[in-house]
């Protein structure tokens, strides 16, 4: 008997009918002779709706502890509903909150890290022959004895961490697209479903805009050797296996996939004194405000530019202006897009950067910044140019194919 951990995203659980459809899928896995542990996200847009409710009763964002108490209720609803549906279908099931399932985290509300998983209760319930539902995205801090959340999209990480702790045979992540594709099928109709992808490529894609998996969950899976199987909850199609490089070698071409991202803003500061210590101060001010930067570039003329998350751009600009740093101007561009070409063989393929540049040149698209790593080349361009650039690159690198991907719920999660 295998042990399967299944995770269902909010878009797979949008309505009572969808909850029932998911319950039937869980039953099918159970009837096939498996032990099943399920991690479900909150139904549909519940998490956003709960945040809206909080905003209607308070002008400030509210105490982080209480926000976490509020948000964790979303996952408890969907998991309890699934357990009710499963019981009605004749399969004993038991839903557990994150802390009942032994998910322990750091004390940081809203962005807690899983530090330990002790799934004693989960095992007990499995031994009793029950299907176990675990509320995703949440845990308990042993330091504060308070309930925490793992950050948006955190149920992926809950599922992978549980799969690791339980030594499950596979962690199936169900979503509203067929699996991991060569580009976002919403903007590239010829995007092809990947049968397999290695952890490294997947991590680069997830960290650079492909929303199909949360980056932290991929990192966790890689460290703990958890095989992830990304599948659609709307079909029985085979989906994508995320696993080690050895096992994916079969499919290796130079470029694996293209990710894009519309969640960054570009900050440009002019007149920063030309000394490493001055530049360090800029980044220190931002780090103290807990703002991550990416794609930094420095020009000879004293301009410094870098990206931050769009949501944090106003705060970033405010803390820089309020600091005692010396500079001339500070501009914030909220309309940039980022394109990342990902592939394990990129470094050994000298033509990629040239092809990239030629493609942008042919489209008359201006690239502002470029950064490269062993596995990725990222560029910034105007957000309006993003879609046609991704489509063109997808074609130039011949990533399309026969098996085209479908988007089901259109929730905006998917890729
Ligand atoms: N419900 C939470 C969110 O919307 C967690 C998750 O979906 O994984 O971010
Ligand atoms: Mg959700």
* pLDDT of the residue at 403: 55
User: Is the CB of 102 within 6 Å of ligand 1?
Assistant: no
Q: Which residues contact 217 (CB under 8 A, 6 or more apart)?
A: 156, 157, 159, 160, 173, 228
- Residue 45, judged by CB atoms within 10 A of its CB (0-12, 13-18, 19+), counts as middle
User: Is the CB of 136 within 6 Å of ligand 1?
Assistant: yes
User: Looking at ligand 1, which residue's alpha carbon is closest to its atom 5?
Assistant: 153
Q: Which residues contact 198 (CB under 8 A, 6 or more apart)?
A: 242, 243, 244, 245, 247, 248, 344
* pLDDT of the residue at 247: 62
Using one digit for the tens of pLDDT, what is the confidence trace for 138-181?
999 999 999 999 999 999 999 999 999 999 999 999 988 889 99
Distance 45 CA to ligand 2 centre (A): 6
Distance 169 CA to ligand 1 centre (A): 24
How far is Cα of residue 392 from the mean position of the Cα atoms in its chain? 25
Q: Which residues contact 304 (CB under 8 A, 6 or more apart)?
A: 268, 269, 272, 279, 282, 296, 297, 298
Considering only the C-alpha atoms of the chain, give the largest distance between any 2 of them, rounded to a whole number of Å. Answer: 71
* pLDDT of the residue at 369: 76
Taking the C-alpha atoms of residue 81 and residue 291, their distance in angstroms, rounded to an integer, is 38
The CATH number for 3-249, chosen from 3.40.50.1110, 3.40.50.720, 3.40.1160.10, 3.20.20.70, is 3.40.1160.10
Using one digit for the tens of pLDDT, what is the confidence trace for 252-280?
568 999 999 999 999 999 998 878 888 89
Distance 392 CA to ligand 1 centre (A): 32
pTM of the predicted structure, to 2 decimals = 0.88
The DSSP bridge partners found for residue 39 are 7, 134
Distance 9 CA to ligand 2 centre (A): 6
Torsion sign over Cα 343, 345, 350, 355: negative
User: Is the CB of 215 within 6 Å of ligand 1?
Assistant: no
Domain span(s) for CATH 3.40.1160.10 in the chain: 3-249
Distance 231 CA to ligand 2 centre (A): 17
Taking the C-alpha atoms of residue 393 and residue 395, their distance in angstroms, rounded to an integer, is 5
* pLDDT of the residue at 405: 60
* pLDDT of the residue at 412: 47
Q: Which of 6, 47, 162 to mutate to test the pocket of ligand 1 (most atoms within 8 A of CB)?
A: 47
| CATH architecture of the domain covering 254-397 | 2-Layer Sandwich (3.30)
Cα→Cα distances 256→116, 207, 349, 363, 414, Å: 33, 15, 13, 22, 18
User: Is the CB of 138 within 6 Å of ligand 1?
Assistant: no
User: Looking at ligand 1, which residue's alpha carbon is closest to its atom 7?
Assistant: 153
Distance 49 CA to ligand 2 centre (A): 11
Ligand 1 atom closest to the CA of 151, numbered from 1: 9
Taking the C-alpha atoms of residue 352 and residue 212, their distance in angstroms, rounded to an integer, is 25
Q: Which of 139, 152, 175, 215 to mutate to test the pocket of ligand 1 (most atoms within 8 A of CB)?
A: 152
Taking the C-alpha atoms of residue 36 and residue 1, their distance in angstroms, rounded to an integer, is 10
Q: What is the mean pLDDT of the chain?
A: 92
User: Looking at ligand 1, which residue's alpha carbon is closest to its atom 9?
Assistant: 152
Using one digit for the tens of pLDDT, what is the confidence trace for 73-115?
999 999 999 999 999 999 999 999 999 999 999 999 999 999 9
Domain span(s) for CATH 3.30.2130.10 in the chain: 254-397
Q: Is residue 302 within 8 Å of 272, Cβ to Cβ?
A: yes
Q: Which of 70-84, 325-339, 369-383, 394-408 has the lowest mean pLDDT?
A: 394-408
Distance 75 CA to ligand 2 centre (A): 8
* pLDDT of the residue at 411: 46
Phi, psi of 287 (to 5 degrees): -60, -40
User: Is the CB of 39 within 6 Å of ligand 1?
Assistant: no
Q: Which of 136, 211, 214, 413 to mutate to test the pocket of ligand 1 (most atoms within 8 A of CB)?
A: 136
Distance 74 CA to ligand 2 centre (A): 9
């Amino acid at each position: 008997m295998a042990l399967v951990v299944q995770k269902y995203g909010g878009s797979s659980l949008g309505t009572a009918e969808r909850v029932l459809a998911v319950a039937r899928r869980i039953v099918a896995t159970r009837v096939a002779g498996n032990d099943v542990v399920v991690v479900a996200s909150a139904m549909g847009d519940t998490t956003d709706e709960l945040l809206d409710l909080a905003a209607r009763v308070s002008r400030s964002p509210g105490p982080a502890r209480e926000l976490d108490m509020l948000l964790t209720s979303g996952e408890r609803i969907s998991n309890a509903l699934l357990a009710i549906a499963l019981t009605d279908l004749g399969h004993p099931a038991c839903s557990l909150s994150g802390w009942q399932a032994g998910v322990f985290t750091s004390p940081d509300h809203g962005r807690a890290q899983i530090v330990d998983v002790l799934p004693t209760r989960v095992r007990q319930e499995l031994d009793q022959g029950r299907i176990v539902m675990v509320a995703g995205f949440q845990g308990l801090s042993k330091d504060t004895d308070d309930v925490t959340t793992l950050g948006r999209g955190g149920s992926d990480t809950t599922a992978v961490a549980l799969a690791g702790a339980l030594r499950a045979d596979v962690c199936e992540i169900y979503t509203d697209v067929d699996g991991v594709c060569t580009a976002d099928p919403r903007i590239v109709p010829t995007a092809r479903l990947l049968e397999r992808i290695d952890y490294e490529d997947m991590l680069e894609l997830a960290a650079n805009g492909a929303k199909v998996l949360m980056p932290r969950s991929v990192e966790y899976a890689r460290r703990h050797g958890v095989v992830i199987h990304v599948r659609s909850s709307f079909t029985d199609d085979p989906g994508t296996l995320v696993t080690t490089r050895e096992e994916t070698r079969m499919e290796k071409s130079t470029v694996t996939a293209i990710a894009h991202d519309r969640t960054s803003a570009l900050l440009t500061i002019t007149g920063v004194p030309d000394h490493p210590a001055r530049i360090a101060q800029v980044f220190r001010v931002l780090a103290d405000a807990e703002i991550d930067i990416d794609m930094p570039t420095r020009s000879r003329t004293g301009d410094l530019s870098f990206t931050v998350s769009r949501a944090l751009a106003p705060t970033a600009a405010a803390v820089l202006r309020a600091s005692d740093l010396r500079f001339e101007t500070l501009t914030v561009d909220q309309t940039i897009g980022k394109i990342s070409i990902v592939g394990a063989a990129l470094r050994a393929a000298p033509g990629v950067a040239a092809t990239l540049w030629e493609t942008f040149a042919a489209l008359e698209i201006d690239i502002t910044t470029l950064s490269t790593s062993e596995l990725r080349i990222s560029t910034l361009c105007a957000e309006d140019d993003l879609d046609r650039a991704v489509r063109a690159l997808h074609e130039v690198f011949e990533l399309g194919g026969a098996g085209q991907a479908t988007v089901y719920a259109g929730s905006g999660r998917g890729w």
